[in-house]
């Protein structure tokens, strides 16, 4: 009986530690997901280069596909300014080899002199790359303009 109680204690402790690590990882991934939006608005290409994996793929609602390089070039354009990118309805599903993040972003962008307001629903995949988790894929699943 004593051995059973000790074994149960070890299992419970391991579960708590695993949950704590899982919870901490979820928090870090959700923060990275939010920081991406802020970095796009600020045109912080150094941060984006760190947050995106080298094999990052961005599939737009139009079907157009950007690589990491081409997306960062688009973000850097002076004639295109993201005024705001606000996330909503974000969820995270954590797996050992990837994290699936879904949500909605309301976007306000200025192209030359014209302001465009639209929203997107997305699916994003983060995966471990080296010592951190990076965004590997963004796929816009629905887009609307207002």
- Say if residue 14's pLDDT is above 80: no
What is the Cα–Cα distance from 10 to 13, expressed in whole angstroms?
5
Do the Cβ atoms of 116 and 145 come closer than 8 Å?
A: yes
Closest CA to 57 of 133, 121, 124, 142: 124
CATH topology of domain 2-145: Nuclear Transport Factor 2; Chain: A, (3.10.450)
Do the Cβ atoms of 134 and 51 come closer than 8 Å?
A: yes
Average pLDDT of 35-60? Answer: 98
- Say if residue 7's pLDDT is above 60: no
Q: Which residues contact 4 (CB under 8 A, 6 or more apart)?
A: none
What is the Cα–Cα distance from 64 to 2, expressed in whole angstroms?
63
Domains in the chain: boundaries: 2-145
Q: pLDDT, tens digit, for every residue of 71-115? A: 999 999 999 999 999 999 999 999 999 999 999 999 999 998 899
Token pair of 74 as six digits: 């688009």
């Amino acid at each position: 009986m004593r051995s059973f109680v000790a074994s149960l204690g070890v299992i419970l402790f391991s579960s708590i530690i695993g949950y704590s690590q899982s919870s901490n990882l979820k928090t870090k991934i959700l923060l990275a997901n939010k920081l991406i939006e802020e970095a796009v608005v600020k045109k912080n290409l150094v941060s984006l280069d760190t947050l995106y994996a080298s094999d990052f793929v961005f599939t737009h609602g139009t079907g157009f596909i950007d690589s990491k390089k081409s997306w960062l070039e688009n973000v850097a354009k002076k004639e295109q300014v993201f005024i705001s990118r606000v996330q909503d309805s974000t969820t995270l599903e954590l797996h050992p080899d990837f994290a699936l993040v879904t949500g909605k972003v309301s976007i306000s962008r200025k192209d030359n002199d014209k302001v465009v307001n639209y929203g997107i629903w997305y699916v994003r995949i983060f995966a471990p790359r080296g010592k951190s988790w990076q965004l590997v894929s963004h796929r816009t699943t629905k887009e609307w303009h207002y």
